[in-house]
Chain A
Amino acid sequence: MSLQARVATLIVAFLGVAAVVAFVVVKYFLASSGPPTEDFTAHVTADTGTAVNVVMQEAPQTTVTTDPDWVTYFIQNPRTHQWVHTTNFAVPAGSRVNVTIYGFDGCTPLRNQLWGQVTGTIGNAMTVNGKTTKVLNSWSECSVAHTFAIPSIGLNIPVASPTSFQANSNLCSTSPCDLDDPHTVVKFSFMTPRTAGTYFWQCKIPCGLGYLDGNGGPMQTIGYMTGNMQVVG
């Protein structure tokens, strides 16, 4: 090949490789390529004393994705009140967050019963269907479906499940679930830390069915049973 042809081929090849690398990075790697972050910080800034309301549900199936048999959380968009399939949310620093979780999934025993105790909330308690509860026993009762835990701020909530055998056999089978299906309503409040940052949250119930120890699959995939709480200063 002549010199010009070789130079031209080289330049084209180099640009091609650079384009492929850029594409892979943007599409697969950047944090922005994950599930969206529900923003609860609008109209509320840090330390104003105004509370923020977060509404979530956990569902036994994820029929909106290619992994229908995975359990998942949904978060309700604060403005449109639509259920969004994400587990990332943003809240203001130093503020009170009131959380409501609809528990549509059935009961499963915890691997460590310590996580049946509510910690880190205001009053160190939560309400389950209106009744104040401080600890749930997931071994002797059919009482816990999943947990919502933010370990770095000491928050741990065992999300209650429907307790009867009949309810557990008729769980909602499409997602997001609606209030006709058997469910519990769990409410609690906590204060967000003063320092801004990203705090991860996770479930502690072994709900990754089909994975060893129940801790694989949805348990380790952001958008399902684990996510990020972004505290905005």
Chain B
Amino acid sequence: MSALNQPRHSTHREPNHGLRMALVWVVLSLAADLVIWFVWYPHLPPGRMTDVAAGQQFDMAVLSLFAAPVILFIWIYGIYATVVWRRRPGDNEDGPPIRGNKRVSAAWIAVTTALVLGLFGFGTYQLIVPNGAGGGQGASPAWAPSKVDLQVQVIAQQWVFTYRYPQFGGFETTQLVLPKGEEIQFHVTSLDVIHSFWAYQLGVKADANPGVDNVAFARPQQTGPFVVRCNELCGLWHGAMFDYGRVVSRAAFLTWAKTTETKLASVTKQLPPFALTYDPTVIKTLGPVLTKLGLTGAGGGFYGPQVPVQP
């Protein structure tokens, strides 16, 4: 910072506060950034189990690289001010009447704007290149991979996740098993209220909205278990709505899928055909006793006496 006008009554030369602070800042920022990049970055959440998770880890590291100098700048300035510019006992004078400095203000505005615009550019690039960075993109994803190997539908309901594999006969299971090395397209939907599918180590987070197909992409790079939690408050047992999934080798996945398809064949016959969204309030195949009792679907008769009440 440039030296500012000094009050006329001072006789000593004002030390260059700005230079002192700048030197300390450069040294500490460099040290902090080196620690962040080489020590901290490899261990940052959420790990590198998928390409999108690795991308999120990279983003966190880069943001930290910029955050550390900003934070250090303010801290160094604050500590310096506390030490150097505190009121000395017996000094009841006011400070110099500095009302502003156009160059300082302009520099500040320019630097902060450039910084955030740079981060915006970085963030947009990091969003587009990894096919949406693992976040839910809605029914028409803007950034999709050129080829998708496996489709998995995540059906969230109160208070359990189930998964359907359309390429294997549409069987539905409570276990999420994924193959390593394949591009996976998640279709996340809900049967009742808003939930959110958060596969932590996979780096995938997509809200489950009723009647909406929310698409997210990920390509697992490592095998291992991962945690799936519901990330949107969905009622009483939201906190208990979690389970575990596994990423296994491609061969093991195919074995599991074929075996489960056979094992669940009888119940798969009862399920509605695979669709991107489901409306359980309208069931076309209701049996005669049910329709005689006045039902049209499951949990649909919410409104008014003209709509059958049970349930």
Contacts and interface: CB of A to CB of B under 8 A. Distances in A.
B302 interface: yes
Interface in A22-43: none
Contacts of B193: 213, 215
Nearest to B242: A152
Contacts of A208: 299, 311
Contacts of A164: 289
A215 B290 contact: no
Interface stretch (B60-68, B77-85, B105-113, B278-286): B278-286
Nearest to B237: A200
B310 A209 contact: yes
A200 B240 CA distance: 8
Determine which residue in B157, B271, B281, B311 has the highest number of CB atoms from chain A within 10 A of its CB, and name it: B311
B162 interface: yes
A83 interface: no
B174 A154 contact: yes
A134 to B, nearest CB: 8
Interface stretch (A7-15, A110-118, A182-190): A110-118
A206 B311 contact: yes
A50 interface: no
Interface string A95-124: 000000000001111111110110000000
B272 interface: yes
A115 to B, nearest CB: 9
A94 to B, nearest CB: 21
20 contacts: A108-B298, A108-B310, A109-B286, A112-B162, A137-B270, A139-B285, A139-B290, A140-B286, A142-B287, A151-B240, A151-B243, A168-B289, A206-B298, A209-B301, A209-B311, A211-B302, A214-B298, A215-B192, A215-B299, A220-B235
B275 to A, nearest CB: 13
Contact of B270 (A116, A149, A151, A163): A116
Interface in B220-253: 235-237, 240, 243
Q: Which interface class (under 10, 10 to 19, 20 to 34, 35 or more) fits B?
A: 35 or more
Interface class of chain A by DSSP: loop
Q: Which interface class (under 10, 10 to 19, 20 to 34, 35 or more) fits A?
A: 35 or more
Contacts of A205: 298
Nearest 9 interchain pairs by C-beta: A214-B299, A206-B299, A142-B289, A111-B280, A220-B236, A213-B192, A213-B299, A117-B267, A111-B298
A220 B240 CA distance: 13
Contacts of B309: 209-210
Contacts of B174: 151, 154
Contacts of A114: 162, 172, 267, 271
B266 interface: yes
